[in-house]
Structures are given as C-alpha cells and as structure tokens.
A and B are shown apart, each in its own frame.
Chain A
Amino acid sequence: MAGYRIEINRNLCMGAGECVYSAPQAFALDEDEKAIVLDASAATDEQIETAVRGCPNFAIRTYRVEG
C-alpha cells in the first residue's frame, strides 16, 4: 500500500494547526505548539496533500513510500 512519510520542519512550524484541521488522525500539536506526526497512514493521501498545501509556513514535507 502506498502512502506518505511526513517530516515537520520545527524551525518553520508556527503552530497554526491547519494540518491538524486537515488530517486530525495524522497530526497534532505538542506542548510547544509545534506540529507532530501521529500516524501518517491513518489519514488519506488527499488529507495529507491538503495539509501540505494548507501549511502557512511551508513546514510539512512528504515523501512517497511504498509499503
């Protein structure tokens, strides 16, 4: 099954929470108000892609993985 591996750039993440809104199964904010990846495979590809496009600080990078 194909999916995404997700990286958050914490130097850029401002804690806007747009990724959490787009894909709540895959993202959360930690105690520093920075995004963390919960489970990339729990969200649909479309949700992940919406989160990447919707990040106001370009802090999410994804890599296609086969698994």
Chain B
Amino acid sequence: MATEAPSSEAPACPVAFHPLRWEDAADPHAALKAIRQQFPVATIVDSKLPPMKLITRFDLATQVYRDPETFANMGISVNVAEVAAQGPNTTNIIAANGDRHAAMRRLALLAMSPDNVDRYLDPIEDYARELTATLPRGEEFDLMEEWAARIPSIATARILGLPDEDALAFRKWIRMGIEHQAAQMSPSSNRFEWVVPSDQGAKSGGYAGGPMFPDSIDAVGRLVRNRRADPNPPTGDLLDKLLDYRDEQTGITFDDDEVVAQLVTLIAAGNDTTGGHIGNLVYRMLTVPGLWQRLRGDRSLINRAIEESLRLDPPQLMFPRRVTRDTELAGVALKKDEVIIISMASGNRDEAIYGDDVDSFDIDRKYPSPRHLGMGRGVHTCIGAYQARKITRRAIDVLLDAVQEMEIAPGYTYEKVLFHHFRVPQRLPVIIRK
C-alpha cells in the first residue's frame, strides 16, 4: 500500500554499515545483526550514493524475491539510470525481467538443466580426481588457485560447450573484470565512478560500470564466428541449439551477439561463486573441530555440509532490486525506482528462522523449506544452483578420498576477495599431512 511519506525522508539507519563499501563486506555479520534486529527495512546512506533500502530479514527477503513485478532485477548494478538506459532487452539474464527473462532462462536451460548437467558429472569427477592427485604433500600450497577454483571452471566450460583450454583463461579474465567492477562500484574505492557509459558494458551482458569481459567475449565470439563460417556445421549440438533458439512461449529470438553475451554471463556467474563456495566449505572443514573426519567417515553428510555452508557463508552476499511502483514493505514506504538490497548473508542468520545459534556451522540444524537464501529465491533462483551443488559434492568426495589429514597453513587468517558482492577466500593456503 502506497503512503504519502516519501521514503527518502525516512531516517538513515544509525548502524555504520553499507553493503557496497568493500571494507564493510569483509566481516558484515555484527552490523547486519544489529540492523536485522532493529530496522527490518533500513535506509542506508553513503555520501557518494543515493539512499537505498537494506532488507535483512529472511521473511522480507523471501517476499521481495517472490514478487519480481514489484521488485525488478537490475543485475549487480545499483545505478537505476544506467540500467534503464540499457532498456528491457538486456543481454544479462541477471538483469532481465518478465518474458525476456523467462526466454533467456529457457535458452540457458538447454545447457544448464539438471538432466544435462548430470551427463557431465562423471567426467568432471575424473578431472577432479586427476587434479587432486597432483596436489603437493607436506608443503604449503594455495588450495583456491590449485584446486577449488579449477574444478567449477572446467565444469562450467564443459557444460556450456567451451573447450577446456579456454576455461582457466576465462577464470582469469572474469576475476579481472570483477575487480574492475568492484573498483567502480564501491564508494570506498578511490577509483569510484558513478556512471560509466559503455557500449562494451552493455554488450558484455549489461553489467553496468564499464568494460567487463572483453577477452571472454572475444573468445566465445570466435567459437560462434567459426561455427557460422563452417560450410558443414554440426547440427543438433549445444551451440547449434543455442544459435537457432526460438522461444516457443514468447516468440523471442536471440542474435549471435546476444547468445555470446549470455554465455559469458553464465561463465562469469559460475566461476568465482562455486569455486569460492568450495573454498568456504573446505575452510570450515578445516576449522570446525571434528568436521573433516565426520564427513570423511559418512559421505552422506556432505550434502548437509554444503547447505550449511551456503547458509552460513553464502558466496554472494547480496542482490539489488529496483522498486517498480510506489509501495511499502513492513510499514516502510518505498518509492518507484528506489534501490533495495537483499542481504542473503543476513537473512541466512535470521534468529526468527534459525534460532539463537545462527553463527555456528552446524550440519545437524533444522532448516525451513527452502533451507536458506544462499541461491536466491523465486523465478531468479540461481540457474547454476543444481550444477554448483553437484560439482561441490563430487569435489569434496574426491578430496576426502585422497586426503586423510589437511591443515591450514600457519599464520593464515581468512581474507575475502575484493569484490564487495562476494565473500569467498582470496587464498586458502593449506598443507596436506597424509
């Protein structure tokens, strides 16, 4: 119900926290708890940003996620003007809405549907097993770089029909693009620029903020150009299906550039998230007493550990939404074109859902259904969620087969990557003991 009071006049939340300030994202939970308990719809301010609303409670986050007509997607940008300038025909599935989003999702499901993902799991497990056998014993190495990040990188490339040799280059390019994005979006960066008009940004999947993944686009574009130049192209393979896709329900079609952009978005979304999830989970396995041996002894518990990791340590901390009409949420007025930020990190520790012991890693805890917000909710639920869970399960199984004892290298303290959206380890130095 709309109210008379413009929401911009709502008092600012007194807790000093802004989810877009990257130093605030490093360890956000004490601030999020204070906000969650006092300000379910908090007005958050920063001198370089327009006021925004922060949603910290599980039930309100669920309500927002499940009402995409009122709370529209805008990618990872929080710049309403720039997103609007890209128009409704964004090539970024994360920013798309309505019929356009549904058509893009059905296109992506040609590759990412669970039955298709299942076909790749055994070969990816074989890759993980070979990779695990190469890990050094008795000396320190970075498990993120040498192992955790590589498995989903190869998996994503194969599932999307891209060559293995490109997969690790994609990972490097995506990381560079994300750090570039972080530098432009976070108000605490001295490289902060509010609006960066960029055709390249739009082409790269509509990530507002500038040239994101030009090398990735070149590499995927080359595959498409080669296919188009092939006098006897294969028919019926994934690339053929993607390029010729016409969405039956809406009649929407996609040109080659749009297919390329969509593939690059899916590669970008599938790399650091899943690699970071695996890293976060292994970090808990090495720091929660008894967890490593318990999982090693009963592999059926790995799925519980995956869900608890996604609850306690969601790789993606938050997602923004644009308010499409004047409305209200929990008694707080919201104006059209206001930005609200859903904090999955906070909703996943909502005491009203999970009880008082929200900060501990407990694979025996009772969950609601769905268990947490770690993969989002509603029609935009992470399209790679199935793939991420299955790949993580296989990877952890392989690691526990090969390694009896592993420890975190002396002196290491958890440090997340720079990007304020993500809380995943930058490095995870470990030593395999036996």
Interface of chain B, main secondary structure:
helix
Within 8 Å CB of B385, what residues of A?
Answer: 14, 16
Q: Are B369 and A54 in touch, CB under 8 angstroms?
A: no
User: Interface digits, A39-67 against B, CB 8 Å rule (1 contact, 0 not)?
Assistant: 00000000000000111111000000000
Within 8 Å CB of B420, what residues of A?
Answer: none
Q: Are A11 and B378 in touch, CB under 8 angstroms?
A: no
Within 8 Å CB of B379, what residues of A?
Answer: 53-56
Tell me the nearest residue of chain B to A53, going by C-beta. B379
A12-B113, A13-B114, A16-B375 known; A29+B369 contact, CB < 8 A: yes
Tell me the nearest residue of chain A to B375, going by C-beta. A16
In-complex Cβ contact of B370 among A17, A53, A55 (8 A): A17
Tell me the nearest residue of chain B to A14, going by C-beta. B386
Q: Are B114 and A56 in touch, CB under 8 angstroms?
A: no
Q: How far is the CA of A57 from the CA of B385 in the complex (A)?
A: 11
A15-B386, A16-B375, A21-B369 known; A57+B113 contact, CB < 8 A: yes
User: Interface digits, B357-374 against A, CB 8 Å rule (1 contact, 0 not)?
Assistant: 000000000000111000
Q: Are A18 and B113 in touch, CB under 8 angstroms?
A: no
Q: How far is the CA of A29 from the CA of B389 in the complex (A)?
A: 16
Q: Does B66 contact A (CB under 8 A)?
A: yes
Q: Does A37 contact B (CB under 8 A)?
A: no
Q: Are A18 and B109 in touch, CB under 8 angstroms?
A: no
Interface centre among A13, A14, A20, A57 (most CB of B within 10 A): A14
Interface positions of B (Cβ within 8 A of A): 62, 66, 102, 105-106, 109, 113-115, 369-371, 375, 377-381, 383, 385-386
10 A–B pairs (Cβ distance < 8 Å), ordered by A: A10-B114, A12-B109, A14-B114, A16-B375, A18-B370, A18-B378, A21-B62, A21-B369, A21-B370, A58-B106
